[in-house]
Amino acid sequence: MTARRVRVMVLLDTLAAGGAERFAIELACSLAPSEFAPFVVATKRGGPLEQRLVESRVPYTVLGRRRLTSPRQALRALRLARRSDLVHSHLFGNNVWGSVLARVAGVPLVAHEHNRVGLHVRFESAFDRFLIGPTAARILCVSGSAARQLFEAGVSRSLVEVVPNGVRLDRSERAEARAALGLAEQDVVVGIVASLRPEKAHDVLLTAFASLVGGGAHPRLRLCMVGDGACRESLEALAARLGVEHRVTFAGERIDAPDLHAAFDVSVLASRSEGLPLAALESLAAGTPLVATRVGGLPELLEGGAGLLVDPGDDEELAAAIGAVLTDPELHRRLAETGRRRVSERHDLARTVGVVEAVYRDVLGRPFQKPQHGESDELVKGAAHLV
């Protein structure tokens, strides 16, 4: 008799094409189909990643949560959790939801920590220590810096495992990527793939780019921003004030974002805070040199010449680093080769999927404490007021 496949409930906020979301969906779509049966629950809204799920025949549900207080959506999530063998939640808010759902449904939880914006505030630390930590069978972190935040909150080290993000290593073609973005072959392109949010510091990159344009070294210099978000209008206004709006492409949210790094001569991440951004790995996998800030897991990723590091918020240092890559062919070649090798050795998606599958097997092979008598759906209703 064939063993029943393990039903894995993947819990997310949205199916937008952000880095954490793209990784979570790619992971779900890459699980061994003979052993695992993933299904995705987006608590808030759908998005471009629905296409990837449809292509991979992975079922999904969008709950449509619009407010912080959403007991009806929480109860729908609970019904789905009770049909699962394991809940795998991604990002802090869903780790809170996942903890409550797992406790009430009586299934184990794997919580995934990607990145926290800004400081690790007391509110989040309290939930890490008193809810997520005591509930999760395992907490996966994308970088050592993310794990340290949990340790500082009082989470047991025995629960935490660092599992760096992984990406596919197949390369896309430069000409196809440029055509998709409307860029000419003669253009010299600085590119960034990141949601237009304050912590991604597109404003710093725009200021650095304006200084490079003013230098006049590259008459066909362009900046391409792939991603969308709340800061788009203010960034468009900043580009106009700096006089570079005709050289900046706002490409919007793209499901083909992993393939677009091949269009760039240099990729940039100017972030003020990070975990281990998927865009950084995708840039290196494409053989595109990366200039990034010294935050989160980026210094560890780029150590030893896999990329150039600058201080966050320093537009002059950022401009100098970008300029160096664009004007020094040998540096460009060396960064591209070292970065590609780094991703191949440490961040192959197939290897990451194998690690996560092993975590699932280990977690499911251990006894799990069912909810105590008297716990009910009211706990889930209460959780809906928290995130």
pLDDT tens digits, residue range 193-217? 999 999 999 999 999 999 999 988 8
Alpha carbon 165 to its chain's center:
8
- What residue ranges do the domains of the chain occupy? 6-166+348-383, 174-346
Q: What is the pLDDT of residue 346?
A: 92
Cα–Cα distance for residue pair 13/62, rounded to 1 Å: 9
State phi, psi for 176 to the nearest 5 degrees.
-65, -40
C-beta separation of 308 from 332 below 8 A = no
pLDDT tens digits, residue range 97-132? 999 999 999 999 999 998 765 555 677 888 999 999
Q: What is the pLDDT of residue 117?
A: 58
Give yes or no on whether 6-166+348-383 and 174-346 have one common fold: yes
Angle at 162 between CA 158 and CA 163, to 5 degrees: 130
Q: Is the pLDDT of residue 384 over 90?
A: no
2 burial via Cβ count (<10 Å: 0-12, 13-18, 19+): exposed
- Of 58-72, 133-147, 273-287, the range with the lowest mean pLDDT is 58-72
pLDDT tens digits, residue range 4-54? 899 999 999 999 988 899 999 999 999 999 999 999 999 999 999 999 999
- Of 142-151, 175-184, 317-326, the range with the lowest mean pLDDT is 142-151
More confident residue, 234 or 369: 234
Q: For residues 130-156, give the mean pLDDT.
A: 92
Q: For residues 51-74, give the mean pLDDT.
A: 89
Q: What is the pLDDT of residue 1?
A: 44
Measured from the Cβ of residue 369, the count of other Cβ atoms closer than 10 Å reads: 9
Domain topology for 6-166+348-383: Rossmann fold (3.40.50)
Distances (CA, A) of 306 to 127, 200, 294, 336: 36, 21, 13, 7
Cα–Cα distance for residue pair 170/165, rounded to 1 Å: 16
Measured from the Cβ of residue 267, the count of other Cβ atoms closer than 10 Å reads: 29
Residue 375: band (very low, low, confident or very high) from pLDDT cuts 50, 70, 90? very low
Cα–Cα distance for residue pair 255/213, rounded to 1 Å: 30
What is the CATH number that goes with domain 174-346?
Answer: 3.40.50.2000
Q: Is the dihedral of CA 212, 303, 288, 259 positive or negative?
A: negative
Q: Is the pLDDT of residue 96 over 70?
A: yes
Q: What is the pLDDT of residue 356?
A: 97
